[in-house]
Every structure is written in C-alpha cells, then in structure tokens.
Chain A
Amino acid sequence: MKGYIGEFEELVLLTIASLGDDAYGVSIKQDIEKRSNRTISIGALHSTITRLEDKDYLKSWLGQPTQERGGRRKRFYELTHQGKVALHHIKDLRDELWKLSKAQLSLAK
C-alpha cells in the first residue's frame, strides 16, 4: 500500500523537516529522544531512515569532513516532494478524524 507510513516513520520525517539544514543521524536521534522522552537505538533509527529513502520520501547527501567525528563526514537528510505529500496525507486523515470525534475526545469531564 503505497503512501502508508508508520508512527515512527512519521516522527522521523517530521523531525527531519523541523531540523532543516541540520538533519543528520545524531541530531535526529537526540531531537526525537528529547521531545518524545524515549530512547531509540541508532540501529532502529538508521533502519527507518533507510526504509524512508527506499520509499523515496527522503534524499541525502554527504557533508564536508570536519575535525569532529574522527574526520568522518555526516550524511544530511531532506524530505522529498513525495515525503511531504505523504505527511500531508496522514495529517489530512488525522484532522478529519479529529474533527469527527471532537465530543468523545474531549478531556474535560
């Protein structure tokens, strides 16, 4: 089913979007961990990123080597157009569902 994205995938995509020019492995990991208050393994994160690349939701490029990280380059990620469309789809779906279920989901007693 093309266009389907899971919860974690959505989280990764949105985080990459929010990080802008600075979206690479460590920054994505730390951002997600900070916001969602959970630890994620680096293997799981990179697996997800790789899957998202397979689905053409992400594109990447290698940065310039720096003194940090033993001179190893960072790989930066950016959303593709399809990625953005997929995010919009899921958001539209959610919004619609939220609208329909306003009364039941109210936290006020």
Chain B
Amino acid sequence: MKSKSNVRPPNLADRLFEWYCENASIEDLHGDMEELFYSNIESMPLWKAKLKYWQQVMSLMCSYAVKKRKMKSVYHTYSHTSINYSMISSYLKIAIRTLLRNKGYSFINITGLSIGLACCMLIILYTKDEVSYDHFHENGKGIYQLTCDRVETNGHSKKFAIAAMVQGPAFAKEIPEIESYVRTKTQPTTIKKGEQIFNDNILWADDNFFSFFSFPLISGNPKAVLSEIHSLVITPDAAQKYFGNEEAIGKSIEIQVDGSFETFIVTGIAKQSPENSTIKFRLILPFKYLEEIHPDNGWHWVSFQTYFLLNPGANPEDAKLKMVKVYETQAKTEIDEMRSMGYGDRFIWGLQPFVGMHLNTEYEGVPDASDPIYSYVLLGIASFILVIACINFINISIAQSLSRSKEIGVRKVIGSQRIQLVVQFLGESFLLCIISFVVAFVIARLSLPIFNELASKELDLSYLLDANLVIGLGGLVLATSMISGFYPALILSGFSPVKSLYGRPSFAGKNVLAKTLVVVQFSLSIILIISTLFIHEQFTFLTEKNLGYNDKNLLEITVDKAIRDKTISRALKSAFSNVQGVEIVAPKNVGKFQRPIKASGKEFPATYEHVDEDYVTTLQIPIVAGRNFSKEYTADSVSSVLVNQAFVKEVGWTDPIGKTIDYMDIPGWGNRKLTVVGVIKDYHFDSLKEN
C-alpha cells in the first residue's frame, strides 16, 4: 500500500476546482473527492485514480450542486476578494463622511495636493512647449544652422548663430553634403498703406523658404510665392491688419527699406507660425531684394540666419571640414586684407542641429532660445511641491489613523480582510486626488494668463489634451494617490482589531518613517523658501544695483530711420526737447560694438558709443578728469574722445588728458587718431549678467 503522505490528488485539478468555486462553501465536496481518491488508489493504479479525480472535478464543476452553492455564496457573510457593489458604496460613503468630518484636514490635504498638481500641470505645459520647439518640420532632422565662432587674438571667442550673405550659396555650391540653403533676417520696419503708417516686423527669406521649412501656405504656390522680387507673403493676422476682410492676394503695401518706401504685392498667405517655432513671421519678403539693394561679397560682416538642409545620411562633421576649405579658398583675399590691417580674428564656421536649437544658448542670435536649465529647475520645483503635498497627505492620514482605528477594528471583527482595507484606503486617497485634480485644473486655468506673462509664452490648457499628456496626467494622479495612500493604507490595515478596540494603537509615537517624512517635508520647504529668497535678492540686485548712471525717469526710444541719418536725429532731438516734461535729450548709436584699437603701443578691443555733448549729462555720469564734449570746440566732432577709468587703467596712462588713441577703425568713419579730452567714471553699459 502506498503511503498517503506522499501521494496527493492532482494539484492542478484541486486548484482549478477551488478557483472555479470561488468562495462558495465546497469543503465537504472537496473532502468527498479526496476520500474517494484515497480509496481508489487501493484498488487501481495511481494514474487511473488521478484520472478519476479529474473526472470528479469536472462532473462537480458541471453539477447543479456547485452552481447552487456559488449562487448562495454571493450573500455569504464570509465572501471576500470579490468586490461587490454594496461594499464599494459603503467605502464611498465612509470616505465622504470622513472628509466632511475632518474639514480642516481635508482642506489642507486637498489644497496642498491641488497646488502641487497645478504647478505640475503648468510646468509640464511649459516644458512640453520648450522641448517640442521646431519639431514640426518634416525635414527637421536634416536641417542645420550655420554658426560662426569668432576667435580673437587673445583667445576669447564669440559664438553667433548668424553668417554673412555669401556663406549660404557658396557652401551649398561647393559641398555635396549640402542639399539646399535658406537665409533669413528679421527686421522691424515701417509700413505704409495709403496714408496710414504701421510698425511691423518683416522677415527676409530665400524663395525656397516654404518648401525648406514646413510652414503651410493657405494660398499660393510654396515654390513660387517668393520668386518675384516684389512679392510678399503674409499671415492671416497681418492680412486682417492691412486689408481688413478683403481678399489680400494681389493687393499691395509699401514697406520702408533703407529709408525709402517700396511697393510689395501679396502673392501668398501663410498659416501663422506655431507658438513653438524659432522662426516666427508676419510678413515675409524675398531675400533676393535685400541681395539686390545691398550686394555684399564679404564673409565677415555677419547678420543673417543661414540654414542648410543636408542630404539624408550625410555626416555634418564632413560638411564642417569641407566648409573650412571652401572658406579658406574663397575668402582668401579678404582674410589677407584683414591680416594686413592688423585684424587677427579667426572665423570658424560650424553647424548646429536645427531641432533642439531652442534649448541651446551657446550661440548668440537664435531668437528666444532658452537655457534648458530653466526647464529642469521648474520640473524640480514642481516635483518638490508635489512631494511635499504627498508627504503632507501621508502624515495627516497617519495622524488621523488614531481616530479611525475603531472603524478598522470593527471592520476586521466583522470579517474584513486586510486587502479590503488597503483597497479602501487607497480608494480614499484616489478620491481625494481626483478632487484635487479637478481643483488643480481650475487653478491652472485661472493662473495660466499670469504664468504666460511670466514665461513670455502663449500656452493654452488645450495643449494638455495631447494623448501622451493625458496618459501622463492620468499616471500622475494615479501615482500621486498610490504614493500618498499606500503607506497609510498599509499601516492602518495592519492594526490588530483587539488592540484597536480595547487599547490604543501605540504606533504613532515611535514610527521612524513618519518622523523621517516630517524631516524631509520641512527640509524641502526650507530649501524652497531659501531659494525663493535667494532669487528675490538676485532680482533686487538687478533692479537696484548702482549702474554708474541715473536710470530713474530715463526713457529710451529707438528710431530706425535716425540711425543712418544725422539730420533726422538732430531734428528729433530738438522736437523731443520741446515736449512738455522732457528735461534733456541725447542721441546715441544703437547697440554696442567692439573694435580693435591701439594706444600707446598697446592693442586691445574696446567698446565704443557715438554720443553728443548732452549724453553724459543726461545719464548723469560723473566726469573724473578733463571736460565733456562741447560745441565750442570744433575738433570735438571729428577727433575727440571720452574714455572711462577702466580704459585709462588698461592703457596704463597716468595723465590721460591730451593723449592720443593712435588707431581706431570705426565702420563708416574710417581710421582716425583721437585725442582724449575727458575721463568719465566707469558705468555699466553691458548686462549685469556679463562680467
């Protein structure tokens, strides 16, 4: 006889039977089968007994007996695992009652979580926008922007994302990797329509602009709209501005180029460039026009964005190497000329991928490029806030648990399983998260305009309705409710019913995790507060730092037309002086330029500004030695210069007045010797972010 201990009925059949019968009471049936199995193995081989056992399982599973017992079990007091409707409605009722009973706690919980979630939503919007910049172009992966690295003789280098006019066609012609090129330039200008005058931004672009980039046209042929030299493509928004509701195609406006108005005829209407596009436009004009009025074969006066489309599979590094050769052969005379003039800067041309360019601040000249560090910092802050809210939730739940221990005890005595309690508490945190999510959505909606202003973006909550983001946000809610609900659920469901009903559960005092959480929560809050104070200090520094001149009540107006024309700037000066409330007016050239200079045998680059005799007075910059410019000295308009203290120090003069600057090449002014007439106190002419 085989020993009973090592022969068992087929395990799989047992499991199948138990699974099928769920929680019905089938103990006796199961026992009957086992008894029959053991009596069978006395009289038949084991395999046959096992087969019989399987038959019995099948026959019982199909029988009325099991069916009936299963039906009964639905109302069985001990039915667990299967979640039924009445239980869920009980959980929901209890959850809502608990929320309402502890209004204060619920308020703190929901507020915390919704602020955290709202921050996350806004920041997800922001980062999504940042990361998606320029991703919509079909050729995107093959497009590179030409970059210019200007290395000065002292080893300093300046990096630009712009080039001169010639690079585009020259490189595209000589380098097989480059399929095509587009040059662009944005420029603010004045536009005339009939007698009306407008200010607007125009974009000069090569005629393949619309086939190179994926900017769809509403009307017009993408290949031909910019081929005529006086053609113009506008956005519906601009069309509305200039032509109202009339059909814009074929109509003309006058655009000021180089001081005179030129007529351009609308040949196409382009869809508004998306919010997340580096290239933004309202009016697009053919680059050819610019080339015709300002033909320029120079390689070094950089001011145009140049984009290349590389052949599929072409290696940008190869193209870069070839660019060096092309530059060295074609620009040879120009480079030699520059060297002979003592101008030793080297130019290194490079390519940066167009997609992702938005998050690269290495090169100057990419419109609204932003540092990815902002996205990281913001994501960090959002997760900090959310973590604090979650910890808050956990701590409050644990603190409240004492008052709920009786409920848990009673539930357990009645027969609740631990898993049921875990489900209940997780459900409660999920409910809370859903409520918070709704509140968060409202908060995000309401604060979006302010956020847009801060981030200088035009985001819309509808951006959140992206399939990936919806899944992401759903995941966020789920994750938040799991993280914040899981620990309390585990702790609370672990209460022993006897302890919770007769004594007091004594866990709250000695729980290490809860204490750790409080410490983490406080640390995070303090880190955030300190960072905020720090940033506030930075801003105060930037706005209140003594700049070396008086910036109160100072107003700057840029007049394009006056840049080239001195008579206009003089006329403007006298006209502005007559405006009531204006104390003093002083013209100055736009921007700041650095040129190499030579003084007392020293050679170094210096920044210069063109100003008149009122400038120093207007900005209230103190004169340390010598005198200001004056109309009384005729030489002032041609050969006098004011220098600052830093300049004097750099050259090493002890008595700077009357000394000469031997060499200074100013474009449009020629190379002149200048006599120092005065020394002014150092003042900040550059951003405080620069050193």
Point out residues on A near B: beta carbons under 8 Å: 24-26, 29-30, 41-44, 46-47, 49-51, 54, 62, 68-70, 72-75
Contact = CB atoms under 8 A, between A and B. Distances in A.
Given A25-B28, A72-B28, A72-B30, A41 B35 contact: no
B60 A43 contact: yes
B27 interface: yes
B65 A47 contact: yes
A41 B64 CA distance: 13
Contact of B31 (A43, A44, A46, A70): A70
B59 A72 contact: no
Contacts of A41: 55-56, 59
10 contacts: A24-B28, A25-B29, A42-B32, A43-B60, A46-B64, A47-B63, A47-B65, A69-B30, A69-B35, A73-B28
A49 B69 CA distance: 12
B36 interface: yes
B34 interface: yes
A69 B39 CA distance: 11
A30 B32 CA distance: 11
B253 interface: no
Contacts of B33: 42
A60 B55 CA distance: 25
A12 to B, nearest CB: 12
B2 interface: no
Contacts of A30: 39
Given A42-B36, A70-B34, 15 more contacts: A42-B33, A43-B58, A43-B59, A43-B65, A46-B29, A46-B63, A47-B63, A49-B65, A50-B68, A50-B69, A54-B68, A62-B28, A73-B28, A73-B31, A74-B31
B513 interface: no
Interface of B: 27-36, 39, 55-56, 58-66, 68-69
Contacts of A75: 28
A46 B65 contact: yes
Given A26-B35, A69-B35, A44 B28 contact: no
Contacts of B68: 50, 54
Interface of A is mostly: helix
Contact of B63 (A44, A54, A72): A44
Nearest to A49: B65
Nearest to B68: A50
Nearest to B58: A43
Nearest to B60: A43
Contacts of A69: 30-32, 34-35
A26 B392 CA distance: 61
Contacts of B59: 41-44
Nearest to A42: B56
Contacts of B61: 43
A64 B65 CA distance: 22
B55 A26 contact: no
A50 B64 contact: yes
A62 B35 CA distance: 16
Nearest to B59: A43
A43 B35 contact: no
B34 A43 contact: no
B62 to A, nearest CB: 6
B27 A73 contact: yes
Contacts of A68: 35
Contacts of B31: 25, 69-70, 72-74
B44 to A, nearest CB: 13
A43 B28 contact: no
A62 B28 CA distance: 8
A59 B33 CA distance: 21
Contacts of B30: 69-70, 72
B32 A24 contact: yes
B50 to A, nearest CB: 15
Contact of A29 (B27, B36, B63, B66): B36
Sorted nearest first, the 4 A-B pairs with minimum C-beta distance are: A43-B59, A72-B31, A46-B65, A43-B63
A25 B60 contact: no
Contacts of B56: 41-43
Contacts of A47: 63-65
Given A29-B36, A69-B35, A72-B34, A42 B60 contact: yes
Contacts of B69: 50
A29 B28 CA distance: 14
A43 B52 CA distance: 12
